[in-house]
Copies of this chain bind each other. A is one copy, B any other.
């Protein structure tokens, strides 16, 4: 089943080794321990151990890490014979992206005297950026080679860092959980890439573009981990104290409400009133996406629940009615439906964030204003202006994502990257050794039997 075009014998080693060697050289030249990870620097000052940011953020970091590698990785194993690639390519491009993101993000907002200083917060930010790449991966899942994915990650991480710099540093946008910077950006970038990579004959692989019983159970591992740890995701880099605490709690209630509306909508819209695993696996997470910007704000618990409730409804409707239209009319083949899980809920989250910012008052935030809206607290802008900045940031994000995806999509079309042909998409056997327990023939097919034989 392997032909020359998709053979990775040389292509993958070459790109892996070149990228990693470049990373090592750049890290050697540019990257240093920050004050909290450097033995000498940390001990210069008279700290208590527990003031080290490690103790504030490392548990959150590990939860985020689980979302990136288990959450995203297993969520995409729903395809019947693309499990190795889902988990395995997720693993590969995440391992690359987090290193590259350290450099790119450090270049834009972590330079100290010509050096990039790193610690647990930069690790979280690198994982965040990686998450955005994995969202785009979801849009092109099954239709791309690992080399294409690494090339995509290379460019996407760079553009992510540019967009993040414009929003967080230049504009002063607040987006702790990344409704805009992570979800909206990753979704629309990926959607544009998959649009450019449109395959008119993809229906030749259609029989593989669905789940089987146990692949859906593996995917639920990913779903549940994403759902459980989303409060950690949204709160991982907010200010210490009440901010982390409040953000985690807002997200917790948003997700709970989202789950109920997802189940309700799934039964309402699906065949015979039966629940559809695609909805449960994806839409139930939209509440986390939608609480990404406003989660750190004084959104109130019931406000969070309203946001989650709406996100679930929008997301299920998207899967049911919008995705088929996008595919037929706009030629956007979105394998995982990232538009429904990350795209629309990300936009919702950005809007909720803008509104919540615009109505912020000193009466509600008190001295906590400086943590949530530093520019408002310092008098640099007023709350409604901050709201306007938030809204403008959404437009900027969409623009950079779509333009970036357009360019990167055309780069990925170059015929040298070993993409699979239309007849063998969604198939592990192209890029992985796949073992069968035993084989038999049934009609025209060789069947790889997946059973256990006991004598």
Q: How many copies does the complex hold?
A: 3
Is there an interface contact between A364 and B24, defined as CB atoms closer than 8 Å?
no
The reply on A111 being an interface residue by CB < 8 A is no
Verify if A10 is at the interface (C-beta below 8 Å from B).
yes
Give min CB distance, A18 to chain B, whole Å.
9
Q: Give the contacting residue for A272; candidates B7, B217, B242, B451; CB below 8 A.
A: B7
Which of B39, B92, B302 is in CB contact (< 8 Å) with A371?
Answer: B39
Known A211-B435, A284-B91, A305-B23; contact A228-B70, beta-carbon cutoff 8 A: yes
1/0 contact trace for A412-444 toward B, CB 8 Å? 000000000000000001111111110010100
Question: Nearest Cβ distance between residue A445 and chain B, in whole angstroms?
Answer: 5
Interface range on chain A: under 10, 10 to 19, 20 to 34, or 35 or more?
35 or more
Query: In the complex, what residues of B have CB within 8 A of residue A14's CB?
Result: 264
Given contacts A62-B232, A277-B84, contact A435 B213 (CB under 8 A): yes
Q: How far is the CA of A14 from the CA of B265 in the complex (A)?
A: 10
In the complex with contacts A275-B88, A369-B39, A33-B301 CB distance below 8 A: yes
User: Is residue A249 within 8 Å, beta carbon to beta carbon, of the partner chain?
Assistant: yes
Provide the bound-state CA to CA distance between A50 and B84, in Å. 42
Closest chain B residue to A87, Cβ basis:
B220
Is A73 in contact with B364, judged by CB distance below 8 angstroms?
Answer: no
For the residues of A in contact with B, the DSSP-based class is helix
Instruction: Report Cα–Cα, A426/B224, bound state, in Å.
Output: 22
User: Are A95 and B255 interface neighbours, CB within 8 A?
Assistant: yes
Known contacts A8-B274, A24-B309, A27-B302; is A43 also within 8 Å of B227 by CB?
no
Q: Mask for A362-381, Cβ within 8 A of B = 1, else 0?
A: 01111111011000000000
Would you mind naming 5 contact pairs between A and B with Cβ atoms under 8 Å apart? A28-B300, A33-B246, A42-B242, A95-B284, A445-B455
Q: Which 3 A-B pairs have the closest CB atoms?
A: A39-B368, A40-B366, A9-B273
Given A13-B268, A27-B253, A39-B369, 14 other A-B residues pairs in contact with their CB atoms under 8 A:
A7-B272, A12-B267, A14-B264, A20-B261, A40-B364, A53-B245, A58-B248, A62-B63, A80-B452, A84-B220, A88-B275, A120-B249, A270-B433, A277-B432
